[in-house]
Structure 1
Amino acid sequence: MLRIPQRLHNLQMSPMARGVARIMTGSVAGQGLVILCYPVLTRLYDPAEFGLLTVFSSVVGMISVVSSVSLFQAIPVPPDDQDAADLAWTALAIVTFTTVVTAGVGLVAGEQIGSLLGVPRLADYWWLVALTVFVMGAYLVLSEWMVRERSYGALARRNLLMGVGQATTQVGLGVAGVTPLGLLLGLGVGRACALGGLLSSGGLLRRARPGPRTMRAALVRFRRFPLLATPAAFVTSAGLEVPLLVVSAFYGDARAGLLGLTVRVFSGPAQVIGEAIDQVFSGESSARIRNPDGTVAAMTRTTVRRLLLIGLAPAVLLATSGPWLFSVVFGPDWSEAGFYAQLLALPYLLQFAVNPVSGLLLYLQRQGQSLGWSCMRLVFTGGGPALCAVLGAPVWVAVAALAASHVLSYLLLYVLCVRAARAADAEYRRKGSPA
């Protein structure tokens, strides 16, 4: 009879392990469907429409990540459930306020913003920008509430339905000729599945809604999140989104669409795999920091090395055959995106390998280094392509500058993580191992 090792048996029986497995199953299925739909979408929508989607999602992403002033991150903290519910309702109220402000900005300056970013049509869809900001902001808040409630089944179903909702909306409306609205609408439809955090058996609607005084008290009590976490979240998001906005502003929506597809091809699979690795690494590294054994640096190097090996073959394939591969999979209009993939293969390989270990800086109380690195990346990735555009360089030079900026940024991030881990290991050895 086959005997299961006790350690593996414990993992199989662990509620946390089962929860993670259920969530990841939903994520892989949902995001896998979205990725598989890209060859269909590129034949239903043209590069300019993808460019509008790229700018739309970048603007929405940067606003929504700070729409609750990072209060959603504090939801798991309060020991009392009602205190946590007060905090969640406060965060939703702030998301609503941010949505109203976003809508007002669109009314006043929507046309100017669209022209500045190279997509004048953005002004026609600013109503959807505001609506999607609300949906995505609420998604972050309600997701964190479901995590607190350990509603792992609801999270798994949400992740699956998020992919199904996005894919069916974008493909269905594209087939019906409702373009480019189908692309834009799909972004928010999937996230609306997070409403399960309101409606489920443990949802917020079953908790008393706080009054203004209670909300104010919750905001004051957790003020460190708005003051410290919000700037960091915005800078981190901007480091990824600003380069796409720069390309759109200087080179037009079609080029932004081509680059946006390239980024999605890289980031989709990397996000699914990277999240799983990040969860494992976070659990292991935080445990070794709490109970040090002098192996944090070795684990960090080993994790990055293994991820490099996992991502090497796809990166080499795209670096050598990008234009041909994109033409076959996405259609002949997208071969230029394959050339961008050749330029970005190395930086995205480094991002895939290093990102999952970057949380180490936070666990080791190196928040200042983490924020400093995010600011530096924003300057490099936004400033490099912008400088190329101002000097009149062709778009491929701007993309090459973006690639070089990412390479330098993630090499530096790796060095920072390894140095921090070595310092923690050295501190453990200096104090001596426990008897």
Structure 2
Amino acid sequence: MRRIRTRRVRARRLPAVAVILSGTLIGQGTVIAVSPLLTRAYGPSDFGALAVITALCSILGAFATTGTDRALMVAPTDRAVRHLVLFGLTTSAVVAGAVGTAAWSLRDALAAGFDAPSLAELWWLFPLTTVAISAFRIVSATVARRQRYTDLATRNAVQGLAQTAWNLLAAPLGPVGLLAGLSVGRLAGVLGSLPGSRRRMLEASASASASASASASASASASAPASVSVSRSDRMAATLGAHRRFLLVTPWSALLNVLGQQGPSVLIALALGSTSAGYVALTMRVLGTPVGMLADAVAQWSGGVFGRSVRSGTPVDRLLRRIVLRLAVAGAAGTLLVLVFAPTAFSVVFGSQWTLSGTYAQVLVPAFAVQVVASPVTQLLSLLGRQLTQLWWDGGRLVLTSGSVLVTTAAGASPGVTVAALSASMVVAYVLVLVLVRRAVRAHRIVATSTVLTPPEPALPVH
């Protein structure tokens, strides 16, 4: 019976990942397909400026959610979900306003510091992209929590198609055609996720309200006339208090997490100039897109399953093992292809001036192979209550990756050596987080098993 049940569970899970991945392939596959056109419409300096906006706004957008995107996965009720969404969107708007003020004040310094003149005129993209990224993270978490895989697939497709359409159609406008693509894609993805999710949230809200009204009526008829009403602000405060560990620790963890991902690109742009950063940015774009597609699809599916398991106290070690093994096979196959074909492929597809990016791809591919394995399961640390462990790892990765760039550039090393040092530091960081996740899952299994074996004693009846 157990084998039959396991097979049925797998039969339900595999199509879910396939559905999400299909939408991702449509959206991000389109982004990859038009890359040869973009490299001919925009120069390396434009791609360098894109790397700056992507890095800074991803960092700020992750912080702006104040951890609500992670807390949504384990929130116990629909009311708590609504409170967390409202709080997250509010803090996102506040942070975006502060970013806009800072970007306008520092627009000339940004353009000079990153050797990207377009940033002086397009400073307004910083707040717009920040709020787009944070809203995208929050809405995506609500959809993943409810395991609405079709909505996730639609969101992924809409995001990539909208970004690509903007990049191509707005090319005559200059750098804004490339730099605004990220915010256009994210906002389109949010709108693509809303219809189904909004309907279900309204239905859940109506159902909860009806149940609460019925319960209140029954209670009022059976109890004394005096009653104590709980205001909305009190309920909101109770929700935020119950999830304070996420709200207080996770924002800083998310900040360090995205800093660890995007910080090296910013440092490379500062130390080597936007042209060298452009070559690295194209490499990151080409390697990161398929890695992101696969990792994001698995993370969206597993996030809902992990969250449900954590809420119910079910062990997740078997699911973790299956995900890691399958992604390791995919990462190894991708690594082999890049090592053999990257320089030639970059030269033929993107033009001879981008051959150097193909060489960088060979150096960076081991890091991306380990990342595709670790990225979808890293969320388990915070979901299992290991927010501080997540925080320490995010800080450690930031030190490793950014330190590798700072040390090599300060020593006057060539860009190739800097990229190699960055790749090695990323491999070390992602292997370490896999070890930490495994330890957290084992501890969770022990707690879950002991809870099942020794259930709490029933309360004595009160006469």
TM-score between both structures, scaled by the size of structure 1: 0.83
| Aligned 8 A contact 1:301 1:418 in 2 | no
Give the letter for the 2:253 counterpart.
Answer: A
2:399 pairs with one of 360, 373, 379: 379
What does residue 176 of structure 2 align with? 181
Report the number of matched residues.
422
Give the letter for the 1:269 counterpart.
Answer: P
Structure 2 residue runs without a partner (length 5+): 207-230, 455-463
Give the letter for the 2:163 counterpart.
Answer: Q
Question: Tell me, what secondary structure is at the counterpart of 1:188?
Answer: helix
Distance of aligned partners of 1:112 and 1:162 in 2 relative to their CA distance in 1, 3 Å threshold: same
Distance of aligned partners of 1:363 and 1:204 in 2 relative to their CA distance in 1, 3 Å threshold: closer
**1:314 is the counterpart of 2:334:** yes
1:170 pairs with one of 154, 167, 172: 167
2:290 pairs with one of 269, 276, 285: 269
Note the 1:124-203 alignment, pairs <5 A: 124-147=121-144, 152-174=149-171, 177-193=172-188, 194-196=190-192, 202=199
What does residue 266 of structure 2 align with? 245
Structure 1 residues 404-413 or 179-188, which shifts more? 404-413
Partner Cα separation in structure 1 for residue 145 and residue 419 of structure 2: 41
What does residue 370 of structure 1 align with? 390
What does residue 57 of structure 1 align with? 54
Question: Tell me, what secondary structure is at the counterpart of 2:124?
Answer: helix
Distance of aligned partners of 1:259 and 1:144 in 2 relative to their CA distance in 1, 3 Å threshold: same
**1:117 is the counterpart of 2:137:** no
Question: Tell me, what secondary structure is at the counterpart of 1:61?
Answer: helix
Partner Cα separation in structure 2 for residue 75 and residue 417 of structure 1: 20
Structure 1 residues 107-116 or 376-385, which shifts more? 107-116
What does residue 417 of structure 2 align with? 397
Give the letter for the 1:265 counterpart.
Answer: V
Give 1:231 shift.
0.6
Partner Cα separation in structure 2 for residue 197 and residue 124 of structure 1: 32
Give 1:163 shift.
1.0
Give 1:337 shift.
0.7
Residue-by-residue CA offset, 1:230-261 (whole Å, 9 max, x unaligned): 01111111100000000000111111111111
**1:350 is the counterpart of 2:345:** no
Note the 1:26-105 alignment, pairs <5 A: 26-75=23-72, 81-82=78-79, 84-105=81-102
What does residue 350 of structure 2 align with? 330
Question: Tell me, what secondary structure is at the counterpart of 1:393?
Answer: coil
Question: Tell me, what secondary structure is at the counterpart of 2:65?
Answer: coil
- Percent of aligned positions that are identical: 31
Give the letter for the 2:436 counterpart.
Answer: L
Give 1:63 shift.
0.8
Q: RMSD of aligned C-alpha atoms?
A: 3.7
Structure 1 residues 74-83 or 322-331, which shifts more? 74-83
What does residue 235 of structure 1 align with? 256
Structure 1 residues 105-114 or 42-51, which shifts more? 105-114
Residue-by-residue CA offset, 1:294-348 (whole Å, 9 max, x unaligned): x93x875665444333222331232244322210111111111111111112121
Give 1:368 shift.
3.1
What does residue 254 of structure 1 align with? 275
